[in-house]
């Protein structure tokens, strides 16, 4: 079953197709700017060409479920949601938005919608989200939505869990 949910302003849908249109690859390049990926793993860095976008997409598709975020009624991606299940007891989630869409409450909509969607599926019991320690906005958002900080051995990120 593919993941798909809506919020008041957004449509979030799992990308299941292996077809890589030039437009979609260009949107990956547009979204994954240095400021957006600053604290993300190395394979998110330097995605500044169609070829790099193809490699990034292949890596993402082998690693997790990729959901594409679009403004309702449009066809251009403005961000991504990532869902990676180690097992049904621990599922990692992440999201990112194009810089142009920061500060408008879209991250809140994405995560609130994701929580509702996951609850309705009834298959995931525990979500884990990692965030850079200096990403105050995301840390506040995770707290606001009921995520709790958990101890971690990872020096580069702070981790939060959400029990469903």
The two three-digit tokens of residue 4, written as one number:
């798909």
Taken in order of first residue, the domains within the chain and their CATH numbers are: 4-163 (3.40.630.30)
Of 108, 104, 102, the residue nearest 147 (C-alpha): 108
Q: What local confidence, expressed as pLDDT, does residue 88 receive? A: 56
Task: Using the structure block, give the residue that is written with the tokens 């105050």.
Answer: 136
SS3 160: strand
pTM over 0.85: yes
Q: What is the pLDDT of residue 38?
A: 92
Mean pLDDT split into 10-residue runs, the chain, 164 residues: 86 81 95 95 95 94 92 95 80 95 96 93 89 92 96 83 92
Where on the phi/psi map is residue 46: left (φ > 0), alpha (ψ -120 to 50), or beta? left
| Three-class SS state of 43 | helix
């Amino acid at each position: 079953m593919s993941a798909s949910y809506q919020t008041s302003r957004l449509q979030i849908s799992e990308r299941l197709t292996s077809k890589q249109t030039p437009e979609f690859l260009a949107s990956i390049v547009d979204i994954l700017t240095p400021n957006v990926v600053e604290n993300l793993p190395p394979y998110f860095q330097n995605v500044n060409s169609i070829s790099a976008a193809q490699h990034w997409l292949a890596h993402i598709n082998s690693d997790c479920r990729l959901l594409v975020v679009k403004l309702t009624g449009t066809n251009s991606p403005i961000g991504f949601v990532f869902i990676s299940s180690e097992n049904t007891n621990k599922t990692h989630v992440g999201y990112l938005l194009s810089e142009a869409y920061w500060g408008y409450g879209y991250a809140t909509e994405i995560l609130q919608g994701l929580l509702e969607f996951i609850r309705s599926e009834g298959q995931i019991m525990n979500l884990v989200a990692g965030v850079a320690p200096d990403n105050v906005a995301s840390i506040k958002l995770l707290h606001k939505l009921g995520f709790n900080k958990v101890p971690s051995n990872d020096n580069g990120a702070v981790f939060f869990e959400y029990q469903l």
